[in-house]
Amino acid sequence: MPLGRDYQELITRRHFFGRSAGGIGIAALATLLEGSLPAAPPAAWPALPGLPHHPPRAKRVIFLHQSGAPSQLDLFDPKPQLDEWHGQEIPDSVRKQQRLTDMTANQDKKPVTQSLFRFARHGASGTSVSELLPFTARVVDDLCVVRSLHTEAINHDPGITFFQTGSQQPGRPSMGSWLSYGLGSENDNLPAFTVLISGGQPGDQPLMGRLWGSGFLASRHQGVNFRGVGDPILYLKNPPGINSQRRRVMLDGMARLNRLQQEAFGDPAIEDRIAQFEMAYRMQMSVPELVDLADEPERTYQLYGEEARTPGTYAANCLLARRLVERGVRFVQLYHRGWDHHSSLPGRIRTKCQQTDQPSAGLVEDLKQRGLLEDTLLVWAGEFGRTVYCQGDLRVDDYGRDHHPRCFSAWLSGGGLKRGLTYGVTDDFSYNITENPVHVHDLQATILHLLGIDHERLIYRFQGRDHRLTDIGGRLVKDLLA
């Protein structure tokens, strides 16, 4: 909780120097007591009182965010009628003077552009999927495809911030942080919320650390970013000359000093600092085992693809996500950059699908084989969709598509969802929703419901206002529930 005014008024210049001088003596005492100090409590924390609100269908989430916004027209929302409109101006009756980005608002012509890729129906469900996603096509009967998502933001940073935090404005807690806060941690040795990033070239949309930040929640609830190159987590190793025993003694001494401060000031951030130091110490032992894939059988790489052997790739991160949820991590956030195709879309989207299709489908199959799909929720989505009209030159190899928040597609799988379902309908141009709209807040509310949380009751009061992930919106989409 925020610090009270009484605490803030205690911090004066004289008090600061007085505590600093006293701290030297306390540190000396801690050194003398070294081995006799008690260890800090476990780093894991329980759920809030009263949570879950109802029996959960899922215990954990893996969110596969395709950063940059994949084109729904080329992947999940086939529009064969566009063959007749290809190259013609998009009708005003379809566009309805809706907001456009600066990149195409002043473009003289906005010609309708059909997809160059074939669609076919797959599985017992008959779900239509693009030829770009042959592996996803094999698992469609385990997926719930939503074609009628819509959002409020039209540019990337507010769009991805809105999807992850429920607000276009930075500073709010991310979805993983809300779940860590509400449902607690299941593992003493790993964080409740982890982040894995892959893909991207110079010029691609950046990813800001605040996307997995805890906002006004305690810092222990922020996401921990695992790196694909070098040490999995920065500063986790002991410095030269410090062994594990020495580190333990140091942490115990710091915990005692921090508790003295806690008793004096009642600052809740001190307890978070103690918990984070303890978590880092435990992760020194748990993370090397986690990222060591030597025990993975050959069939694992047949599922995820050969790139799963290369740390930092999307395939490797999907495999690592499975290993994380096996060990009780509550929320695993994957980001794969490079989906912002304003030009040269045909070639670039093919490359992105080659990087992500097999690993995404492999993750579904792997979780299912291990009995984890029943209580693990998978989400595959970007921050918005792409326009039916082209951006730039209509030449086959050069055109792109602009941002489109009015409708886009995503898929979900696992914990408590209907399988083999295609939900929502868009018009013949994949420009407007005609049936069963699903706002981003609705999707967030549904994800929380599957985890046993009433989205209107997971609240944190900050600066005189009650906050929640879904802000003042959101509704449960009951049609998606099994």
Render pLDDT for 53-78 as a digit per residue (tens, 0 to 9). 999 999 999 999 999 999 999 999 99
Q: How far apart are CA 194 and CA 187, in angstroms?
A: 12
The tokens 């998606």 sit on which residue?
A: 480
Render pLDDT for 107-117 as a digit per residue (tens, 0 to 9). 989 999 999 99
Of 283 and 27, the structure prediction assigns the larger pLDDT to 283
The tokens 């951006």 sit on which residue?
A: 391
| Mutual angle of helices 440-450 and 175-183, in 10-degree steps | 30
For the four alpha carbons of 284, 310, 199 and 376, in that order, the dihedral sign comes to negative
Report whether CATH 1.20.120 matches the domain 60-237+268-480: no
Q: How far apart are CA 118 and CA 129, in angstroms?
A: 9
pLDDT of res. 21? 47
pLDDT of res. 25? 47
Per-residue pLDDT averaged across 369-384, rounded? 98
pLDDT of res. 282? 75
pLDDT of res. 466? 97
Classify residue 235 as left (phi > 0), alpha (psi -120 to 50) or beta: left
What are the extents of the domains in the chain?
60-237+268-480
How big is the chain by its Cα radius of gyration, in Å?
Answer: 25
- Give the pLDDT band of residue 13 (cuts 50, 70, 90): low
Per-residue pLDDT averaged across 235-247, rounded? 75
Looking only at the bridges linking them, the beta strands covering 438-439 and 143-150 are: parallel
Is residue 29 predicted with pLDDT exceeding 60? no
Is residue 279 predicted with pLDDT exceeding 80? no
- Give the pLDDT band of residue 22 (cuts 50, 70, 90): very low
Per-residue pLDDT averaged across 204-217, rounded? 94
Integer CA distances (angstroms), 255 to 205, 271, 276, 283, 438, in order = 40, 9, 11, 17, 47
Mean pLDDT of the chain: 89
Is residue 401 predicted with pLDDT exceeding 80? yes
